[in-house]
A and B are shown apart, each in its own frame.
Chain A
Amino acid sequence: MKLSGAEIFIECLKAENVDTIFGYPGGAVLFLYDELYKAEARGDIRHILARHEQGAVHGAEGYAKSTDKPGVAIVTSGPGATNAVTGIADAYMDSVPLVVITGQVPLGLIGKDSFQEIDIVGITRPCVKHNFLVTSIEDIAPTMKKAFHIAMSGRPGPVLVDIPKDLTNPDVDKIEFNYPKELKMRSYQPTIKGNKKQIRTALKMIAEAKKPILYAGGGVVSAKAHKELTEFGQAFNFPVTNTLMGLGTYPSNDKQYIGMLGMHGTFEANRTMHHADLIICIGARFDDRVTGDLNKFSPNAKVIHIDIDPASISKNINAHNPIVGDVKEVLNSLFDIMKEEKIKPNKSAFDAWWKEIKEWQSVNCLAYDQDDKIIKAQYVVEKLWEVTNGDSYVASDVGQHQMFAAQYYKFNKPNRWINSGGLGTMGFGLPAAMGVQLAHPEEVVSVVTGDGSIQMCIQELGTCKQYDLPLNIINLNNGYLGMVRQWQEFFYEERYAMTYNQSLPDFVKLAEAYGHVGARIEKPADVEGALREAIKDTKRLHFLDFVVEEQGNVYPMIPAGYGHNEMYLNKQDAIDDMNGKK
């Protein structure tokens, strides 16, 4: 039977087992929506209508980040496509597997500045893993096959497929549908298995180390290698730190876990990194928010770097032993070699090192005082963690609240912490949480956000109503663009340029206007109760507007360009440092 381009598109989605697609309609995708309408009626595919294309793409990201499936989004040409760009760039920076379909004006109108024509393939080229402009109906199926394959394999990432409208029109052409079973691309063959020789060398380096640190990032989430990571860490009694993207890959209630590292990481994680003689980096990329000043970074360490992306290795920090491969495969062959060669780690080899680390831990860098008057943001997150038994999915936006969530919500499982690490996209949290809730209807999903960020995609409250998504929105309302204000306080002599959030809406009324439950919490004593009530209600979305300390800061902090041994632990450190500079 011959199918139209639009019908072929649906068959491709079915062949890839896509059950949920996020999107927003428009002229160039009308034929595709016509078939989506029928597919939904048949119960094949569910379409989630966001309220803005950015929300649709973040929704697909949340869906992908919390499952092992790709996220799929569809938007129209022109403004639909440009609105999707932030989400695509976000997925690119955080290696989220996405397939984004954009409608394009008909082939004959391309290049003529036609209505709603934009070169989205050109615009997104620097922020996709790959993209395609489909130029014939015959190419739709093979291109979709490639798109899913590229998005999901190797280092995952977003792939955009731009489909001109006429290719989907049943009156223009119909062809036989054939979905390619196998796909061989001579130009794309990611390395999966690690080099055995290098792995043996790694074991030798470990045997010689006195002060190792295991540093694991988002690559461990992508590779689903959290079990292997934990086994590896425990077998050798390594201190383990996670990046912002890697939270949950190593259980944070384990005694070897020393917290997140980097700009707002723990004192102990950063000190351990600084004084280490061996860094075992797994699925992380020595991002500048992790390393601070490269010239001061961990001066005495040798580096073993395991990553599926060769370009991430020796980009910022030179690796003495680069191991390219899927981190799960690499760790498993490391275990095999250990068995073959009967390597039994000496559990007390690092006792002296642990003694040093315990000293740093005793600083208790995340301690804070909660009085009975003004709510501390940290306290709200800590209570959320308690009330949800550490088992909620937590999506966050970008700012101080994000760092508080990363510091005080102690994740023990991967895929639960859904945040925008690489791009740092305010507005990510709420739509991403929708995607998570749609993928996990029975689970508790919370959004930790701020009064600035939440307003960037607030329209998605409508989507949450339409699909009955019972999110718990934890708005840490400090009345400021807090993270930026913090920098202004430290580095711009407290000139708070444009960081006071004037004319904030009444969030309670706003939530109610969208049909949700809203509450404003002003006293520390009411925090826990409000959280419990929201979490107990599995039917409705609760928007909890917590009025928190206005000018609180995130500590510890390594200012940009500082070394890991130059942290601020509190306001006094910052003041001393600034006085020192004067």
Chain B
Amino acid sequence: MFKTQKEEKQIRSRHILSLLMENETGALSRVSGLFSQRGYNIESLTVAPTDDPTLSRMTLVTKGNDASVEQIVKQLNKLIDIVKVMELSDYSHIEREIMFVKVAATNMESCASIKRMADIFRANVIDVKNKMYTIEITGRPDKLDGFLETMEEHKIIEVVRSGAMGITRGSNALKV
């Protein structure tokens, strides 16, 4: 929601939402449109069909205070194409993001340092060509942030992040 200055100071924490929606054309723009119309922010959004091809699963990360996130969940539920919404952050859950980073190694020393860092972060070097290292790394978004920081001493050419996706632990599940 667009905020007055006073409200801006209230705590806005990170919330991760999981959505099941009809795999219909336009469903994605209804969700993204809702966020822009109502002034909610989207930190990341990923979507793909599930094992049931008529359903898509979306993971959406947003920031807001509890009341505004409650309102977001209600507004999402109101969209006709949305089948279910779950606030993952309310449950014990697992969250992962995948990232590709392309870095340029300037000398032998930096080649070694890139590989060492990749090992420490359990990342994989998936391509090397003309001193360009392409690294794949999976983990919680803050881990990816950490890895990017260590790469800053090299020349980062390109970064591709998938956005977070999540799933609950144990018997809780988001399904129809």
Q: In the complex where A126-B33, A188-B80 touch, is A311 in contact with B22 (Cβ < 8 A)? A: no
Q: Which residues of A contact B104 (CB under 8 A)?
A: none
Q: Which residues of A contact B67 (CB under 8 A)?
A: 314, 318
Q: Which residues of B contact A187 (CB under 8 A)?
A: 21-22, 80-83
What's the tally of chain A residues with a CB closer than 8 Å to chain B?
Answer: 19
Q: Pick the contact of A125: B30, B83, B176 (CB < 8 A).
A: B30
Q: In the complex where A186-B176, A309-B78, A311-B71 touch, is A126 in contact with B37 (Cβ < 8 A)? A: yes
**Residue B155 is within 8 A (CB to CB) of chain A in the complex:** no
Shortest CB-to-CB span from A145 to chain B, Å, is 14
Chain B positions 64 through 78: 1 when the CB is less than 8 Å from some CB of chain A, otherwise 0? 000100110011011
Shortest CB-to-CB span from B86 to chain A, Å, is 14
Nearest residue (CB) in B for A295 is B6
Shortest CB-to-CB span from A530 to chain B, Å, is 46
Q: In the complex where A125-B33, A186-B176 touch, is A310 in contact with B80 (Cβ < 8 A)? A: no
Chain A positions 115 through 155: 1 when the CB is less than 8 Å from some CB of chain B, otherwise 0? 00000011001100110010000000000000000100000
Nearest residue (CB) in B for A311 is B74
**Residue A315 is within 8 A (CB to CB) of chain B in the complex:** yes
Q: Which residues of B contact A150 (CB under 8 A)?
A: 80
Find residues 299-341 in chain A having any chain B CB closer than 8 Å to their own CB. Answer: 309-311, 313-315, 318
Shortest CB-to-CB span from B98 to chain A, Å, is 29
Q: Which residues of B contact A186 (CB under 8 A)?
A: 83, 176
Shortest CB-to-CB span from A347 to chain B, Å, is 38
Shortest CB-to-CB span from A534 to chain B, Å, is 44
Q: Pick the contact of B26: A125, A309, A310, A315 (CB < 8 A).
A: A125
B-side interface mostly: helix
Nearest residue (CB) in A for B26 is A121
Q: How many A-B residue pairs have CB under 8 A?
A: 38
A214–B151 Cα distance when bound, in Å, is 63
Q: Is the CB of A314 within 8 A of B70?
A: yes
A365–B21 Cα distance when bound, in Å, is 52
A310–B74 Cα distance when bound, in Å, is 7
Shortest CB-to-CB span from A7 to chain B, Å, is 26
A126–B29 Cα distance when bound, in Å, is 10
A318–B77 Cα distance when bound, in Å, is 19
A150–B79 Cα distance when bound, in Å, is 11
Q: Is the CB of B77 within 8 A of A310?
A: yes
**Residue B25 is within 8 A (CB to CB) of chain A in the complex:** yes
Q: Which residues of B contact A313 (CB under 8 A)?
A: 74
Residue among B22, B37, B74 with the highest chain A CB neighbour number at 10 A:
B74
A152–B157 Cα distance when bound, in Å, is 54
Nearest residue (CB) in A for B20 is A187
Q: Which residues of B contact A133 (CB under 8 A)?
A: 25-26
Q: Pick the contact of A122: B29, B70, B71, B75 (CB < 8 A).
A: B29
A315–B80 Cα distance when bound, in Å, is 20
Residue among A129, A185, A188, A314 with the highest chain B CB neighbour number at 10 A:
A188
Q: Which residues of A contact B176 (CB under 8 A)?
A: 186
A129–B21 Cα distance when bound, in Å, is 16
Q: Is the CB of B80 within 8 A of A129?
A: yes
Nearest residue (CB) in B for A128 is B80
Find residues 136-161 in chain B having any chain A CB closer than 8 Å to their own CB. Answer: none
A315–B25 Cα distance when bound, in Å, is 29
Chain A positions 505 through 531: 1 when the CB is less than 8 Å from some CB of chain B, otherwise 0? 000000000000000000000000000
Chain A positions 176 through 213: 1 when the CB is less than 8 Å from some CB of chain B, otherwise 0? 00000000011110000000000000000000000000
Q: Which residues of A contact B25 (CB under 8 A)?
A: 133
Q: Which residues of A contact B78 (CB under 8 A)?
A: 309-311
- Taking Cβ atoms with an 8 Å cutoff, the residues of A that contact B are 121-122, 125-126, 129-130, 133, 150, 185-188, 309-311, 313-315, 318
A-B contact pairs, 17 of them (CB 8 A): A122-B29, A125-B29, A125-B30, A129-B80, A133-B25, A150-B80, A185-B80, A187-B21, A187-B22, A187-B81, A187-B83, A188-B80, A310-B78, A311-B74, A311-B75, A314-B70, A318-B67
Q: Enumerate the 5 nearest inter-chain pairs by beta-carbon distance, A residue then B residue, closest first.
A: A311-B74, A130-B80, A187-B83, A126-B37, A310-B74
